[in-house]
Amino acid sequence: MTELRKDPLIGRWIITGTRNKEEFFQFIKNPDQEWGECPFCSGHEEVTPQEIFAVRKPKSKPNASGWDVRVVPNIRGVFNIEGEVGRRGKGLYDLMNNVGAHEIIIETPKHIKNIGNLSPEQIKKVVSTYQKRIKDLQGDIRFKYALVFKNQFKESKFYINHAHSHLVAMPLTPKIIKDELKNCHAYYAYKQRCLICDILEQEMKSGERIVDESDAFLSFVPFHSHLPFETWIVPKKHNADFTKEDENITLALARSLKTTLSKLAKLLDDPRINYAIHTIPFLRAREGYWKTINEDYHWHLEIYPHLMGLTGFELGTGSYIQPLLPEVCAKLLRETPI
C-alpha cells in the first residue's frame, strides 16, 4: 500500500510503497523497457489511457488524431486518484494516504524529443495547457498544490523520446515550496517588497548572470545556483500565480523557454534536463491563512541540467558544490548562438 510519510527531522514528505519487492528487484536489474513504436505519436492514441484534456483541431474526435497537445493519466503515476487523504499518526510519525493526480502532457503529435525544438506557438499551447489543468485540479479539495515538471533525457531506446511533461496534484505543499514561501513572506514583512522582484532588479542592473531578456521575462543563472548552468526564467511583472498569466505572457514565456533550452542543448551537447514551475499553493480560506501571499511570492520556472552526480557531501549536508561560477555559466550561455 502506497503512503506519504513525513520526516520528523526536516519536515519533508516522502512517497513509499509504490512497488512490491518483486517489482522493485526486477526494476533495479532492468530499470527500463525498450520501447517499440512511440505511444505518444499521433495515430497511437489507443495505446495510452483515455485523454483527460486536449487542444484539438475542429471536428477532430477525442482519443483520435487531430490534436496539438494531449493530456492523459500517467500509467506509472505515483499518486492514487481515488480515496481520501486520511492523515493520521503512528506513534510519533505522521503519514497519509498517497492520494493525488499524476498526468502526462504530450506536447506535440510529432515525434520530437526536445520541447526547445518546437515553435513558440506550439510551446504556448503547452504552457496554456499547464494553466488549464492546474485550474481544473484546484477544484478538488483534497489537493493543496500542483507541480508541473519535465524529465527530458538524452536520446535512448529505453525512454519515450517524445516531448512531454508531468503534472502532479498533491494533498500537501512540498517543503521546498514552503521554504520559498516563508522566506518571501519574511522579506516582505520586513521590507514591504517582493524578494524575487528585488532579485530581478539586481540581476538586470548587474547583467553578469543574464542568459536572455525580453520585455516580459528574464532568463538568468542564479547567484546561488546549485548545479552548473542551472537557469531560472522569471516574469518581470510581479505575479504570484502562474495560472493567472494572459496569452501575451504565455507566448513570451514560450519564446524565452525555447531560447534558453536551445542554448543549453547546443552548449552542453543536449544534456538531461529537468524543469519545474514554482507557483503558489491552492488558496483555501481558513483561519490564520496569511493574506499577503499574492504580494510576497513570485512564480518562476527553474531549469536543472544534469552534468554531474551527487556526492556524499551534497547528500549529507544539503549544500551543493557548483564547480563553475554562475557568472561563467551565464556568459557561456549568453554567447551561445541558436
Condensed to tens digits (0 to 9), the pLDDT of residues 223-257 reads 999 999 999 999 999 999 999 999 999 999 999 99
Give dist(CA 235, CA 216) in Å, integer: 6
- CA 2 vs. chain centroid, Å, equals 23
Residue 227: other Cβ atoms inside 10 A: 20
pLDDT for the residue numbered 33: 61
Give residue limits of the domains in the chain.
Answer: 3-334
Give the chain's residues under pLDDT 70. Answer: 1, 31-35, 156-158, 287-289
- Which residue's entry shows cell 531578456? 213
3-334 to CATH, choices 3.40.50.2020, 3.30.70.100, 3.30.428.10, 2.60.40.730: 3.30.428.10
List residues bridging with 275 in a β-sheet.
Answer: 150, 303
- CA 301 vs. chain centroid, Å, equals 7
pLDDT for the residue numbered 263: 98
pLDDT digits (tens, 9 = 90+) for 78-134: 899 999 999 999 999 999 999 999 999 999 999 999 999 999 999 999 999 999 999
Spatial neighbors of 168 by CB under 8 A, at least 6 apart, are 77, 78, 79, 100, 101, 102, 103, 146, 147, 149
Helices (H), the chain: 21-29, 120-138, 175-191, 195-206, 247-267, 293-296, 312-317, 326-334
Q: What's the half-sphere exposure (Cβ side, CA atoms, 13 Å) at 183?
A: 9
pTM: 0.94
| Residue 305 near residue 270 (C-beta atoms within 8 A) | no
